[in-house]
Amino acid sequence: MFKGIIFDSDGVLVNSMPYHAKAWVDVFAEFDIDVTEEEIYEIEGSNHVGVINIFFEKAGRKPEPEIYDIILEKKRTHFMENNRAEIFDGMYECLKSLKPAFKLAVASGADRTIVTSLMDRFYPGIFDAIISGEDVQNGKPNPEPYDRAVERLGLEKSECLVVENAPLGVKAAKNAGLFCVGIPTYLDPSQLHEADIVLNDHSELIGYLSNLMKKD
């Protein structure tokens, strides 16, 4: 019986990844590193340290220790200035109906300022715990984000379900030993094959989550 549900943020709760991807592409260009938006989607779920390491390595470079905070601040500023994210239809109403029956959490690779601003705007008062990319040493696909979320909810792993839309996020959930529902918001469904269940869209997700209340 599930008692807690842990959501990724970007692509699951909020349609915000296009603005994250554009921010990363533009900021990396300032450091003469060519990155495509498609490449950002493929590694969605990594925290800023992971993203920076991946693309500096691809460019044959090693980031200096101080570069992480510099790039993070630039990326955050770009996102906040250009963000036009919207909530997925029906998700707020769905989570509001889930809240009396389940503990709810967010586990995102985005930085704390961005995650909390989006959740405060679109899902005020909904979540019992929010884990950001800055709250962990190791981002997805490492299990740490989901381990932290389970711990914060005060539940057993067998009592928690994860909703993810990215391959690294699905892998993180499974590495943490959690049941995972995949939703292919931006990618082909086959890329979420490690999830326990892959749904087609947010309409199916809302139906699936609503049915949990009938079972539990």
Question: Residue 59 maps to which CATH number?
Answer: 1.10.150.240
Q: Are residues 127 and 182 in the same domain?
A: yes
At which of 63, 82, 101 does a domain end? 82
Tens-digit pLDDT profile for residues 45-54: 888 999 999 9
Give the residue among 154, 109, 111, 110 at the shortest CA–CA distance from 129. 154
**Cα pseudo-dihedral 106, 107, 108, 109, rounded to 10:** 170
Beta bridge partners of residue 161, listed in sequence order: 5, 179
Q: Are 42 and 167 in contact (CB under 8 A)?
A: yes
The domain in which residue 43 lies consists of 17-82
What is the distance between the alpha carbons of residues 180 and 182, in angstroms, rounded to a whole number? 6
Mean pLDDT of 97-105: 97
pTM: 0.89
Same domain? 33 vs 102: no
For the segment 171-188, the average pLDDT, to the nearest whole number, is 96
**Backbone torsions φ then ψ of 116, nearest 5 degrees:** -65, -35
At residue 94 the predicted structure's pLDDT band, cuts being 50, 70 and 90, is: very high
Average of per-residue pLDDT across 106-125: 94
pLDDT at res. 71: 96
Which of 57, 82, 107 is the endpoint of a domain?
82
Domain final position from 27, 55, 82: 82
C-alpha closest to that of 177 among 162, 192, 198, 193 = 162
Q: Judge whether residue 216 has pLDDT over 80.
A: no
Provide the domain count of the chain.
Answer: 2
List all residues 6 or more positions away from 102 whose beta carbon is below 8 Å from its beta carbon.
Answer: 2, 3, 4, 5, 212, 216
Q: Does residue 139 share a domain with residue 66?
A: no
**Same domain (yes/no): 75, 144:** no
Tell me the C-alpha distance between 179 and 5, whole Å: 10
